[in-house]
Amino acid sequence: MTIDRGTVQHMARLAELAVTDADADALADQLDRIVRLVEQLTEVDGDAPSTDSAGVVVGPSRTPLREDVVAPIAMAHGPAEFAPAMQDGLFLVPRLGGMTDS
């Protein structure tokens, strides 16, 4: 697999990240090196598909259950203190016109 500018721009669109064409070229070169590094993983099992694709679980072997009660966390201040734009207790965003799949 070779990473080119087109792949970078496609991933950037999926990740909602603006990347200029000039940056995409430099990123393509670096990502290509990273992908070549991770392709060493094929040495372990060759091309055999993984028979067990379940996630690796570290930590507790099962998610503990707790009492089904609301336990609010005391807040030192509200979101108006850190949100870029708020009005009447709501986060302000620009128009949603671009929310269609490209």
Contact string 1-40 vs other proteins (x = CB under 8 A): x-x---xx--xx-xxxxxx-------x--xx-xxx-xxxx
Task: Report the residue from 2, 21, 43, 68 that binds other proteins according to the rule CB under 8 A.
Answer: 43
Going by C-beta distance under 8 Å and a sequence separation of 6 or more, which residues neighbour residue 79? 86, 91
- Any idea of the CA torsion for 49, 51, 56, 57, to the nearest 10 degrees? 170
b vs e for 85-99, b when ≥16 Cβ sit within 10 Å of the residue's Cβ? Answer: eeeeeeeeeeeeeee
The least distance separating other proteins from the CB of residue 62, rounded to whole angstroms, comes to: 10
Contacts with other proteins by CB under 8 A lie at: 1, 3, 7-8, 11-12, 14-19, 27, 30-31, 33-35, 37-45, 49-50, 52-56, 58-60, 63-64, 66, 71, 73-79, 81-85, 91, 93-99
